[in-house]
Amino acid sequence: MKNFQQVNVGVIGVGWFGEKHAQVYNNLSGSNLIGVFDTNTETKNRVASALGVQSFSTINDLLADDSIDAVSICVKDQYHLQPVLAAAKAGKHIMLEKPMALNLEECNEMINAVKAAGVKLMLGHLLRFNQRIVRASYKIRAGEIGDIRHIYARRNMPTSAPRHVGDSCGFHSMLFHGAVHELDLLQWLANDDIVEVFARHQSGIMESENVHVSDTILTYLQFRNGAAAITEHSWIYPDNFPAMVDARTDITGTHGRIELDLGFRGGRIYNEKGVEYFENPHWPVIDDWYSCDLRDELETFIKCVSLDLPVPVTGADGRRAIAVALAIEASMNSKKVEQVES
Amino acid sequence: MQKLNVAVIGVGWFGELHIQVYSSLPQVNLVGFFDENLQRMEDISNRYHIRAFQTIDELLESSLIDAVSICTGDQNHLSPVLKACRAGKHVLVEKPMARTIEDCDIMIDAAQKAGIKLMPGHLLRFNNSFIVAKDRIFKGEIGSLSHIYTHRSLPKSAAHRISDWGEYHSILFHLAVHDIDIISWLADDMIVEVYADFHSGILESEGIALSDAVLSLLRFKRGALSLMEQSWVHPDNYPILVEAQTQLTGSKGKIEIDLSGRGGVSYTNNAVHHFAETYWPVIDGQTSCDLRNELDVFTKCLLAEDPLPITMEEGRYPICVVTAIIESLKNQKKTYVMS
């Protein structure tokens, strides 16, 4: 690309997903991975060594490196605020993993900080980069299904997921960890805000395994302009379920319908081990590097930094999803319809 | 930042996709393009703001260019490839490499003499489902291979679009090359014998001199069999653009790869449309997934001076199999594959 200058990147938080960020940046032609940080020294050193990049002793050391233009922040969901504030202060552009934060005050603080520092903040709402979702959005914007009337969406997982995530985001961790994908996606597809919610949850199964989180969250979401959505988020599928995620989004409009299978099982293997759906829907691997959604997301961030373009998924978008999550949580507590704080 | 200077020769439907990808790869300078159709040249030039060379020679003489994609019609690969080799440019040639084994040999010879790198555009090698399947087979997860079923079908409009290419069984060059390459790669084996039959009449009744469907029975060297089906007579409102499936059964298990549909379907205005293939989806004007992977890897390998992931011989081999299939179609006999 003309005018494209390579971007130097650091990754803060290299757990399961942060490591993927680091691997993608290390492989993209447009980015140069300088180094990584993690509070777990063993993890940090393993990742740094595998990629042949610097292992920074502290976050501040990483942020003080003048060669670094931008950072991905992939620390645990409940700890996003401090690294974001520090990165903004250090003048680094920021790619922040979802969920933005677990409350609106922190979302606001982050938005103000990046504005004051004049740096970019992009939210990692990965589904916005899934080609079947994007192509569905083109059809919707072109009016192919008329006005949206209602949406059904689910994102369910086996029990290995809550065992891994635990109650890091509180009792309703699944809301901030999983459902936030749909909370951003549905508002983006409908091009409208969710203003009112009713939600109930079920619990008991994960608690009986000593993981103190709810099992299933079912919601009814009301959009400002009249559309409605029903969502299902459950992470009690059996561990021998053939795929990591069972997700779909079905959209009914006045003139048509779109059905999206987001855990699409294009590759299946059957042998004495059982059944496995091995196609990776969101970060498929080509040789030892990543393709499609995650790669496109991070490459977009890099291009926005290099060419000084506005990022497509903003702090305001991240905050909007959290506002709905909090209303859902309030509704589960009050057992009443709740309004979304704007 | 090190960048590769690239040009595209032939900007029909697929050549334009190459242009879209190259335009958005950070490590590529898309210098320009050439096409014989002047109107197409003007259209592409206006939309992509890249240089339209007046002749193919002018393009190849440019010292600014390191590599070219050759996306001319299937029957027109030889001449541009030879010219590119002589001009010292690295080449990505779209499948099928050529329509005769002889032409493949001439290309390979020219590339070797010129010391340039030549890669056939076997797109399926850059699809994640196939890559993972290959890994699982390699690890023994389905044991030793017994038989394969592979199928690739298109609507009639595809046949109408290429009706003037002078080869009655064009479907074999247009579609079967993909299947032959991918099943041989998955099986890590070579096809040695074929028997095939074809159906005709549907396209002929629409004024197109092409066969409708070819069904082949293939035998690999180590004994596995494959049933292969290609057709291009689906009704034009068939909801899936490329219906494609590959299934491999072995002594210990089975793998299924279904690239039809791909998880997105719309029902609008009495039309059903399975719209989510990953071959070359365009997201915000930028082509993503499989085709992007292919061109990304091609250009990165050239920059790093790494070997290209698909060899010239791998471009030639499917043409040997297709040649045997065509002979079998003529003689109604089992035919050995020339190597």
Q: List the CATH number of the domain containing B166.
A: 3.30.360.10
pLDDT above 70 covers a percentage of chain A that reads 99
* DSSP state letters, B31-71: EEEE-S-HHHHHHHHHHH--EE-SSHHHHHH-TT--EEEE-
Are B128 and A136 an interchain contact pair (Cβ–Cβ within 8 Å)? no
Residues of A whose CB is below 8 A from B281: 131, 134-135
pLDDT digits (tens, 9 = 90+) for B167-179: 999 999 999 999 9
Q: How is residue A212 written in tokens?
A: 């103190």
Does residue B313 fall inside a structural domain? no
Interval B55-79 mean pLDDT: 95
Average per-residue pLDDT for chain A: 95
Dihedral in degrees, nearest 10, Cα atoms A181, A184, A190, A195: 120
Q: Cα dist. A80→A40, A73, A97, A320 in Å?
A: 16, 7, 8, 16
Same domain, B96 and B230: no
Q: What is the pLDDT of residue B236?
A: 87
State the total domains in chain B.
2
Residues of B whose CB is below 8 A from A1: 23-26, 28-29
Residues of A whose CB is below 8 A from B129: 266-267, 278-279, 284
Residues of B whose CB is below 8 A from A142: none
Dihedral in degrees, nearest 10, Cα atoms B328, B329, B333, B338: 0
Q: What is the pLDDT of residue B163?
A: 59
Residues B6 and B53 sit within 8 Å (Cβ to Cβ): no
pLDDT above 70 covers a percentage of chain B that reads 99
Same domain, B118 and B132: no
Q: Which of B253, B264, B296 sits opposite A132 (nearest CB)?
A: B264
Same domain, B81 and B196: no
Interval A31-39 mean pLDDT: 98
Distance from C-alpha of A85 to C-alpha of A88, rounded to nearest angstrom: 5
pLDDT surpasses 80 at B285:
no
Same domain, B100 and B164: no
Residues A159 and A236 sit within 8 Å (Cβ to Cβ): yes
Does residue B312 fall inside a structural domain? no
Distance from C-alpha of A204 to C-alpha of A216, rounded to nearest angstrom: 10
Cα angle A212-A217-A221, degrees, rounded to a multiple of 5: 145
Same domain, B291 and B236: no
Q: What is the pLDDT of residue B227?
A: 98
Does residue B298 fall inside a structural domain? yes
Identify the band that residue B287 occupies on the pLDDT scale cut at 50, 70 and 90: confident
Name the CA radius of gyration of chain A, rounded: 20
Q: Which of A129, A256, A279 sits opposite B266 (nearest CB)?
A: A256
Q: How is residue A229 written in tokens?
A: 């959505």
Q: What is the pLDDT of residue B288?
A: 86
Same domain, B83 and B224: no
pLDDT digits (tens, 9 = 90+) for B306-339: 999 999 999 999 999 999 999 999 999 999 999 8
Average per-residue pLDDT for chain B: 94
Residues of B whose CB is below 8 A from A298: none
Direct distance between the N- and C-terminal alpha carbons of chain A, in angstroms, rounded to an integer? 40
Interval A131-155 mean pLDDT: 96
* For residue A99, cis peptide bond before it (omega within 30 degrees of 0): yes
Residues B209 and B133 sit within 8 Å (Cβ to Cβ): no
Does residue B71 fall inside a structural domain? yes
pLDDT surpasses 90 at B298:
yes
Identify the band that residue B275 occupies on the pLDDT scale cut at 50, 70 and 90: confident
HSE on the CB side for A71, CA within 13 Å? 34
Are A135 and B275 an interchain contact pair (Cβ–Cβ within 8 Å)? yes
Residues of B whose CB is below 8 A from A302: 26
Same domain, B176 and B92: no
Q: Cα dist. B50→B22, B33, B291 in Å?
A: 11, 8, 20
pLDDT digits (tens, 9 = 90+) for A290-315: 888 999 999 999 999 999 999 999 99
User: Residues 6 or more apart from B107 whose CB is under 8 A from it?
Assistant: B77, B78, B81, B82, B85, B93, B97, B98, B118, B312
Does residue B14 fall inside a structural domain? yes
DSSP structure class, residue B189: S
3-state secondary structure of A311: coil
Are A135 and B255 an interchain contact pair (Cβ–Cβ within 8 Å)? no
Distance from C-alpha of A298 to C-alpha of A301, rounded to nearest angstrom: 5
* Nearest chain B residue to A285, by CA: B128
* Residues pairing with A122 in the sheet: A95
Distance from C-alpha of B136 to C-alpha of A83, rounded to nearest angstrom: 40
Interval B149-171 mean pLDDT: 88
Are B1 and A5 an interchain contact pair (Cβ–Cβ within 8 Å)? yes
Question: Which 105-144 residues of chain A touch chain B by CB within 8 A?
Answer: 129, 131-132, 134-136, 139, 144
Q: Residue type for B45, please?
A: S
Distance from C-alpha of A23 to C-alpha of A162, rounded to nearest angstrom: 25
Q: Which of A29, A256, A271 sits opposite B268 (nearest CB)?
A: A256
Question: Which 21-40 residues of chain A touch chain B by CB within 8 A?
Answer: 28-30
Instruction: Kindly state the helix (H) or strand (E) to which residue B279 belongs, with its residue range.
Output: none
Torsion sign over Cα B69, B72, B75, B79: negative
The domain that holds B104 is classified in CATH as 3.40.50.720
Q: What is the pLDDT of residue A292?
A: 87
pLDDT digits (tens, 9 = 90+) for A46-81: 999 999 999 999 999 999 999 999 999 999 999 999
Question: Which 30-89 residues of chain A touch chain B by CB within 8 A?
Answer: 30
Same domain, B258 and B161: yes
Are B128 and A132 an interchain contact pair (Cβ–Cβ within 8 Å)? no
Same domain, B160 and B252: yes
Same domain, B146 and B239: yes
Does residue B150 fall inside a structural domain? yes
Question: Which 296-335 residues of chain B touch chain A by CB within 8 A?
Answer: 296-297, 300
Q: Nearest to residue B130, comparing CAs of B146, B150, B113? A: B150
Return phi, psi of residue B117, to 5°.
-95, 135
Token pair 């084994």 is found at: B101
Q: Give B307 or A264, the one with higher predicted confidence.
A: B307
Q: What is the pLDDT of residue A265?
A: 76
Are A268 and B256 an interchain contact pair (Cβ–Cβ within 8 Å)? yes
Q: How is residue A247 written in tokens?
A: 């997700």
Interval A26-40 mean pLDDT: 96
Same domain, B112 and B132: no
pLDDT surpasses 90 at B6:
yes
Residues B232 and B242 sit within 8 Å (Cβ to Cβ): no
User: Residues 6 or more apart from B169 whose CB is under 8 A from it?
Assistant: B198, B210, B211, B214, B325, B326, B329
Does residue B158 fall inside a structural domain? yes
Q: Which of A1, A264, A269 sits opposite B24 (nearest CB)?
A: A1
Interval B278-301 mean pLDDT: 89
Count contacts between A and B (CB, < 8 Å). 158
Residues B110 and B86 sit within 8 Å (Cβ to Cβ): yes
Q: Which domain holds residue B182?
A: 128-277+318-336
Domains of chain A: 7-119 (3.40.50.720), 129-282+321-339 (3.30.360.10)
Identify the band that residue B164 occupies on the pLDDT scale cut at 50, 70 and 90: low
pLDDT surpasses 90 at B85:
yes
3-state secondary structure of A237: strand
Residues B207 and B159 sit within 8 Å (Cβ to Cβ): no
Distance from C-alpha of A137 to C-alpha of A227, rounded to nearest angstrom: 16
Question: Which 68-107 residues of chain B touch chain A by CB within 8 A?
Answer: none
pLDDT digits (tens, 9 = 90+) for B8-21: 999 999 999 999 99
Q: Cα dist. A340→A177, A201, A223, A326, B291 in Å?
A: 19, 18, 10, 8, 42
DSSP structure class, residue B27: T
Question: Which 20-59 residues of chain B touch chain A by CB within 8 A?
Answer: 23-29
Interval B113-136 mean pLDDT: 95
pLDDT surpasses 70 at A141:
yes
* Nearest chain B residue to A139, by CA: B266
Length of chain A, in residues = 342
Using a 10 angstrom Cβ sphere, with 0-12 exposed, 13-18 middle and 19 or more buried, the burial of residue B254 is middle
Same domain, B72 and B118: yes
Distance from C-alpha of B213 to C-alpha of B108, rounded to nearest angstrom: 31
3-state secondary structure of A3: coil
